[in-house]
Each structure stands twice: as C-alpha cells, then as structure tokens.
Structure 1
C-alpha cells in the first residue's frame, strides 16, 4: 500500500484527474454540443489515455532529475530513491511514454493525423528536455509547460481537424465556433499555467538557486517576478471581463455570474495578495489558489452544455 501511494504521488494523480476532466468536458460540453451529435468514444478515450500516460511519464522524469532540489524544497514529499528505486523510476517513465505513443497511434489513423502522433512524440521529448535542461533556463521551462498544458485541449481540437486544405479552409459556422472556443480555453490554460509556474519558481527559489537554476526570480529578482505575474493577471482578468460583455446579451446570466464569482474574483484576490507574499508558504498558498482557478475555469465548459 505504501508503494502504491508513493507511485500515485510520483505521477501526481490529481494532475492526471484534471487532464481527464478537462478533456471530458471539452469533448462532451463543447464539441458534442456544437455539432449536435455523439462523439467517437473509441478515439476520444484512447486520446485521453495517451494524454494521461504521457503526462504521468513527464511527472516521473521530472521528479527523477529534481531529486536534489526536492530534498531541499519539499523533503517530506520525496519518493525517488526513498520509496521507489531510481531504476524503477526510469522504467516507469519509459513504459508510460511508449504506452502514450502507442495509444496515440491507436486513436488516430496515421495517414490523416500523422501531425498529432509527431506532436505527442514531441511532448514526450519536451518533457524530458524540460526536466534535464529547460526548467533551469529563464522562462523557457515555464513556457514549455504552459504550451503542453494548452495542448491537453488542442490535441482534441486537432483530432477533429485532419491536416488537409479542405478542413483548414472551412468557414462553416460550427467550425468557426469550435475553433474560437478551442483557442479560448487553450489560451486560458496557457496563461494561467504560465502564472502558476512563475509563482512556483518563487516558492522554490532556495533549492533552485543551490543547483544552478536560472529561473525568473533568481535572475531578475522576486519583485520582477511579481510584476511579470501581475501583468499576466491583469491581461487575464481584463479578457474575462470583456468576454462577459459578449455573453450577457445572449442571456447567459448564470454563466457570467459564475465567471465573476468563481474565476474573476479569485484572480483579483490573487493579484491583491501577490505583492504581500514574502515567504515560500505565502507563494504556496497563491499557487494552490491559482490551481483552483484553473479548475473553475475548466468547469465553465459545463455552461456550453446548458445553453444553446
């Protein structure tokens, strides 16, 4: 039981549940609602499994290479070489990565969706490079993780759009609406993930600095990191407020109220607390709050199932 618990911590099971929930809501609340019919459940669930396995493999290899840093930043949560041997950690990384690529190929005919197979292969490679190199560089690792977070949604969008001219040039109402909503949620995922990654960098400065990481707060200072986060928070809050001005004329009052209470208000609270934060515990609370906003943001997809 201890080994199973350690393995679940290693793959960060809450993050995997989040991926499943995100893709489920996007498939059934947005795609199925727009096109007014059922979905290819075989394809969808294989893509979900592939996404979960690739993400789990990325979490594993990140903890493998972060062992020394984690022993400083979060010694009570270290699994690698404490509960699970390093060789087994590498084995599970390789196995889950290969299974992720296998299920990608099973889900998508390579002749039409070769670009998605390559993209998921690229995700595996990026997660390895992130763990070994990118995360130690100024903003590079933050952007990589943010792009991969957005990819959780975009992979489903592109799974409906083969890389062919007739699909790319389609101007049908449903296609345009589907594209806009996919970009909206992928953009939200990118920005909120970028914000959280920089906040986590401030939280983990002690261990990162000792092992030569060049993260934003280490290179530019904590104040500059706070300003960077604050700017993106303002952009996100302003965008969400503008979006509500578009949906209110449609009569989406419940959706607008939810967005204000569950997304915009918490983001404003995070903004106000950002410049008061000074300790790792403060930034950990902010990171947790941002993660909850990520959840409430994704849950807003439910309203597309409710409204026409």
Structure 2
C-alpha cells in the first residue's frame, strides 16, 4: 500500500482536499451562512472525491510515461517497473478516472453537464500532458497550471447553473466569484512558476530523452527571466489586494500575506538569480510549494472576517 500511496502522490491529494475544503467552509459557507441548499455537503464530498480520483490517475499515467526519465532524475524514488507492474498502473489509471467521472455525475446530475464534460476533459488533458505535452516548452506547464486552478473553479461553478453563474448574479455570488478568481489565479501563476523551476531541475533526464522543455529550448537564463516575470506579476497582484484589504482593517490577514507569501516570493527571486545546481533548484521548487500552501491557508482568515 505504501508504494501505491507514493505513486499517487498522496500529499498532493491531501492538498487538493484541503484547498477545496477551505474554499467551501471558509469562503462559500460564511458568505451564504443560513442559505446553504439541501444536499450541498454530499455534492461537495462527491466533487472532492472526483478531483482526488482524477488527479491520482494523472499522477499514475505521468509516472508511466516518465519511467525512463525518472530513472535518471530520481532513481531512488521510481516505483513503476520496480515495485508496481506497469500494466497494473494502466488499470488503476482507468479505474480511478472512471471513479472520478462517476462521482462528478452523481454530484451534479444532468444539470451540471458542463462540469462532467470539464472533468472528462481534465482526465484527457492529464493523459495528453504525460504522453506528449510535458516534453514541450510552455504548453505542458500551462495545462498543469490550468488544472490546478480548476480545483477551485470546480467548487465555485458547482454552486450555480452555468447560466446563473455569470448572469443575474446577486451580491453574494459576485463576492464568491471574486474569491474564486483570486485564489484560482494565485494557484495558476504559482504553478506556472513551480513547473518552470522543476523543468530546470529535471534537465539532465529531460535532455537525455529528447524533451524540449523551456530551459532546453530557451536556455536556463531565459527561463529564469520568464519565472521572474511571473513572480513579479504575482507580487504586484498580492500587494494591490493587500492595499484594498487594508480599508477593512484586516491587519492579521495583511501581515500574514506580507510575511508568509510576499516576502518568500522576493526570496525566491533573489535565490533564483544565484541558483546553478540541481539541489538549489529543488530547494526553490519546495519553497514554491510551501508558498502555495500558505496562500491557500489564508482562506482561514475569511472564516472569521466574512
């Protein structure tokens, strides 16, 4: 069981659950308070399960296609072909995707056909990413980042019909939409940054097997500039948001963001310029993941503020 949990990246799955749970219980429910529709908890649980199953299937198929590259980049962490048979991996990939789609159908029924379609597309994109786009510059990173942002937008869109989500919106719906865009945008940009850093970290194996990732095609320095630009955009957005939040005197939230999100982003920019070894890039990748966690955890403040 332990190798299987490692194969499906269980800490990342816990992160997905945490993200969706925080959005549900710290933002959606405080905004709507006593106006939560019947059956909301069951629908939410099914959508979380769907996200976890589809993501787990994506991690399995990613390792399936990356087995040779992983033997170069991280030989001690390779599970497929050593502990788990590759044929079993394909079977688990199929079963988990089916479970994810079934959970989506049970959660939204025919009224949420667009969410069913979106999760089917997500499963297909994860396959295409692993089989083809991961080896290309930019497009693979964009796919991963979009799917990361989708974990938040899925919960938002599950609360309304497709038409009502963007038309005839009441004040609460507009507030919820703003929070969804804010956190989905944060997740998208920080994922773009982390994927680019990982591309530099994984260059030895990627280069050996003919991948055309950003640092291989553009060079490391150009990739660093690309990362720095996105980090600068993210910092600027966060600073603007904090200036807006100050009018509500949410001092604790502002201090949290400045100390645990904005300052570490400046740290990454500084260290990125100096980095020149695989270990340093791995450290930056880990730092980026921790910033993503602290960013998502900031939703806790709104449980008290809203």
State the partner residue of 2:65.
65
Q: Secondary structure at the match of 1:36?
A: helix
Q: Distance in 1 between matches of 2:148 and 2:114?
A: 18
Mapping 1:139-288, distance limit 5 Å: 139-164=138-163, 166-288=164-286
- Which residue does the alignment assign to 1:21? 18
What is the Cα deviation at residue 171 of structure 1? Answer: 3.5
Q: 1:7 to 1:254 in 2, by over 3 A?
A: same
Mapped partners of 1:284, 1:161: distance in 2: 40
1:77-99 per-position Cα deviation (integer Å, ceiling 9, x unaligned): 00001000011111111110100
Aligned position for 2:8: 11
| Partner-residue secondary structure (3-state), 2:274 | coil
Q: What TM-score results when the alignment is normalised by the length of structure 1?
A: 0.97
CA distance in 2, matches of 1:236, 1:263: 10
Q: Secondary structure at the match of 1:275?
A: helix
Q: State the 4+ residue runs in structure 1 displaced beyond 4 angstroms.
A: none
Contact 1:161/1:168 (CA < 8 Å) preserved in 2?
no
Partner Cα distance (1:168, 1:235) in 2: 26
1: CA distance, partners of 2:165 / 2:274: 49
Whole-angstrom CA distance in 1 between matches of 2:197 and 2:137: 14
Query: What's the CA shift string for 1:135-166, capped at 9, x where partnerless?
Result: 111101000000000000000011012112x4
Give the aligned partner of residue 130 of structure 2.
Answer: 131
1:35 corresponds, among 15, 20, 32, to 32
Aligned partner of 1:307 in structure 2 is 305
**Partner Cα separation in structure 1 for residue 103 and residue 239 of structure 2:** 39
Question: In structure 2, how many angstroms separate the alpha carbons of the residues matched to 1:103 and 1:287?
Answer: 32
User: Does residue 86 of structure 1 match 2:86?
Assistant: yes
**Kept in 1: contact 2:157–2:165 (CA 8 A):** no
Q: Distance in 2 between matches of 1:248 and 1:151?
A: 29
CA offset at residue 168 of structure 1?
Answer: 2.3
Distance, in Å, in 2 between the alignment partners of 1:67 and 1:146 is: 22
Classify the secondary structure of the residue corresponding to 1:23: helix
Q: Matched residues in 2 for 1:248 and 1:66: separation?
A: 46
- Find the aligned partners of 2:168 and 2:249 in 1 and give their Cα distance: 29
Distance 1:171 1:93 in 2: 39
The CA distance in 2 between the partners of 1:169 and 1:149, in whole Å, is: 25
2: CA distance, partners of 1:93 / 1:11? 10
Q: TM-score scaled to structure 2, two decimals?
A: 0.98
Displacement, 1:167?
A: 4.2
Could you tell me how far apart the structure 2 residues matched to 1:167 and 1:100 are?
A: 23
Please list the CA deviations of residues 180-206 of structure 1 after superposition, one character each: whole Å capped at 9, or x if unmatched. Answer: 110000000000000000000000001
Does the 8 A contact of 1:61 with 1:93 survive in 2? yes
